[in-house]
Chain A
Amino acid sequence: LAQKAGFQTDEKALIRAAQEGDQDAFGQLVRAYDQSVLRLAMNLLRSPEDAQDVYQEAFLRVYRNLNSFRFDCSFHTWLYRIVTNLCLDHMRKRKVRKEESSQVEGTDGPVDRMDTLQESRAESDPQRTMFTGELRERIRKALGELTARERMVFELRHYEGLKLRNIGEILGTSEEAAKNCLFRATQKMRVALGDFV
């Protein structure tokens, strides 16, 4: 707790310094969050290019609007609000464009382009690799069936580890609504994965 409180104090000081034009402080703020921002965008959008777009746009917005940040919420919540809105926009636009394929042609046929980015998950057992690959594919498909908001809540809770109360704050909804969303999402995932797990 003391560590967390210390970080929050430091962060406040960083934000204040950045608001006064201290570029070094701004850099530290970016560095504190940019990896998880990129990961969230990448997992949600399943496209490195789109994820990079969101990353750029989100931090540029932070840079441009930092002076209007009044500490009404945490910086993390404010940043994630920006990021999730940008991701939701991308996801909606993509729905309108009827979704470009996330698959690319590999040496052994089509593969999900995100698989080409999986660096550290190689398995030594080929059977296990195949199983993991199929499982991943099933999960991806199931994730694709979720609504944008269900998907967002699921990503934020499961992969980013945020609490539902915080997710509600980010998405401008109540904790209860976020909980219902997560409930529906996991329920759908369970059904979609069937007896695979």
Chain B
Amino acid sequence: MNTCEKVREQLSMLLYGELSFDQEEAVDAHLEGCAECRLALDREHELHAAFDKAEVEPPASVLWESRQNLQRQIAAEQRPAHAFMGRSGWWDRFLDTAWLRPAGALALVTLGFLGARLAPDWGLGVTGMSLADPGLQRVRSVGPSPNGGIQIVLDETRQRVVSGGLDDQKIRVLLLSAAKDPSDPGLRYETVGILNDRAQAAEVRDALIYALEHDENAGVRLKAMDGLKPFVRQPEIRKALAGVLLSDGNPGMRTQAIDLLTQGVGETTGNTTANNLDRDIIGTLQELMNSENNAYVRQRGERVLQLVNASQETY
């Protein structure tokens, strides 16, 4: 085997950084003086780059599902359930990963919004009974039992797992309801993020408009606005965005609304600069100028009005 053949055999290991110091020195020295082997090295680089293309990254949903199943299986092992399932325990931190949030929110829905927690064993020694989280059960009535003891009637909230794709009607209904859940802005945020993927459906758009107009949390409103972006030409969306301009207390929201409503204005194509904007929006912007206190939002609004040759305020 000549030197070139020997060197080429080592190229792959060179790229993997698996040659000894001496081997690497020898290969480098040879490559400096051998154009053909340098070409072979280039091909080896291409081969390695090609390998990269076949790699599969597990989707967040598969990872989520795996974690969920693992958690369930571990909880079923001998350890006390509450140690694993406490809301502030490892499981919550486990799921607290930004990139996993959309999948997480879906699973939150499938878990009944995680409202359900496994019952801590309070050691009451009552056969066949363990008291669940007081938040999930309520004593309806108390009275004497026929055998002389006490009889308590409990109302309990039961956990139910529902799973399926975004296009499943039952999942859709749960998500639409979760998007309005008043108790948990985090859940609403994540749910709205998931719904954004199906904003082509009218019922989803309605939910996003509702969130945009009514949600008390600016993050949720902004997320809903994101989902509505592709439909900004539709009259009901424009109306909702105009409403944001005039009544949303968050300057960031108002700025975004201006940008969406005035998309394309001022852009130059060839020799023409777009300066058309529907009259209603011009009117809304002028109205905004009457009351806007935020300098940045004012500046954005003024610039648009300037571009469309409209006066700055209504009189």
Residues of A whose CB lies within 8 Å of any CB of B are 21, 23-28, 30-31, 34-35, 38-39, 42-43, 46, 48, 51-52, 55-56, 59-60, 63-64, 114, 117-121, 132, 135-136, 139-140, 143, 157-159, 163-164, 179, 182-183, 186, 189-190, 193, 196-197
Cβ-defined contact, B16 with A30, below 8 A: no
Looking at the assembled complex, report how far the CB atom of B167 sits from the nearest CB atom of chain A, in whole angstroms. 16
Name the prevailing secondary structure of the B interface residues: helix
Residues of B whose CB lies within 8 Å of any CB of A are 9, 12-13, 16-18, 43, 46-48, 50-51, 53-59, 62-63, 65-67, 69-70, 73-74, 77, 79, 83-84, 89-91, 93-94, 97
Task: Give the distance in Å from the alpha carbon of A24 to the alpha carbon of B89 in the complex.
Answer: 6
Contact of B69 among A56, A64, A196 (CB under 8 A): A56
Closest to A133 in B: B53
Cβ-defined contact, A55 with B90, below 8 A: no
**Chain B residues in 8 Å Cβ range of A114:** 56
Cβ-defined contact, A136 with B18, below 8 A: no
What are 19 A-B pairs with beta-carbon distances under 8 A? A23-B84, A28-B90, A38-B63, A43-B56, A48-B58, A52-B62, A52-B66, A55-B70, A56-B69, A63-B74, A117-B59, A120-B57, A140-B54, A164-B16, A164-B18, A189-B51, A196-B50, A197-B46, A197-B50
Task: Give the distance in Å from the alpha carbon of A120 to the alpha carbon of B55 in the complex.
Answer: 11
**Chain B residues in 8 Å Cβ range of A190:** 47
Known contacts being A63-B77, A117-B58, is A55 close to B66, with CB within 8 Å? yes
**Chain B residues in 8 Å Cβ range of A196:** 50
**Chain B residues in 8 Å Cβ range of A197:** 43, 46-47, 50
Task: Give the distance in Å from the alpha carbon of A157 to the alpha carbon of B12 in the complex.
Answer: 12
Contact of B56 among A39, A59, A60, A163 (CB under 8 A): A39
Contact of B12 among A27, A64, A183 (CB under 8 A): A183
**Chain A residues in 8 Å Cβ range of B97:** 31
The 3 closest A-B pairs by CB, nearest first: A27-B90, A139-B54, A24-B90
Task: Give the distance in Å from the alpha carbon of A43 to the alpha carbon of B55 in the complex.
Answer: 7
Closest to A120 in B: B57
Cβ-defined contact, B47 with A52, below 8 A: no
Known contacts being A23-B79, A27-B94, is A60 close to B70, with CB within 8 Å? yes
Task: Give the distance in Å from the alpha carbon of A89 to the alpha carbon of B62 in the complex.
Answer: 22
Known contacts being A60-B73, A143-B54, is A183 close to B13, with CB within 8 Å? yes
Closest to A140 in B: B54
Cβ-defined contact, A135 with B59, below 8 A: no
Task: Give the distance in Å from the alpha carbon of A55 to the alpha carbon of B93 in the complex.
Answer: 19
Contact of B66 among A34, A135, A139, A179 (CB under 8 A): A34
Task: Give the distance in Å from the alpha carbon of A182 to the alpha carbon of B13 in the complex.
Answer: 9
Looking at the assembled complex, report how far the CB atom of B75 sits from the nearest CB atom of chain A, in whole angstroms. 10
Looking at the assembled complex, report how far the CB atom of A146 sits from the nearest CB atom of chain B, in whole angstroms. 12
**Chain B residues in 8 Å Cβ range of A143:** 54
Task: Give the distance in Å from the alpha carbon of A2 to the alpha carbon of B178 in the complex.
Answer: 45
Looking at the assembled complex, report how far the CB atom of B10 sits from the nearest CB atom of chain A, in whole angstroms. 9
**Chain B residues in 8 Å Cβ range of A26:** 90
Cβ-defined contact, A60 with B74, below 8 A: yes
Cβ-defined contact, A193 with B47, below 8 A: yes
Cβ-defined contact, A139 with B53, below 8 A: yes
Task: Give the distance in Å from the alpha carbon of A149 to the alpha carbon of B94 in the complex.
Answer: 33
Closest to A165 in B: B18
Cβ-defined contact, A158 with B51, below 8 A: yes
Known contacts being A24-B93, A27-B91, A186-B12, is A136 close to B58, with CB within 8 Å? no
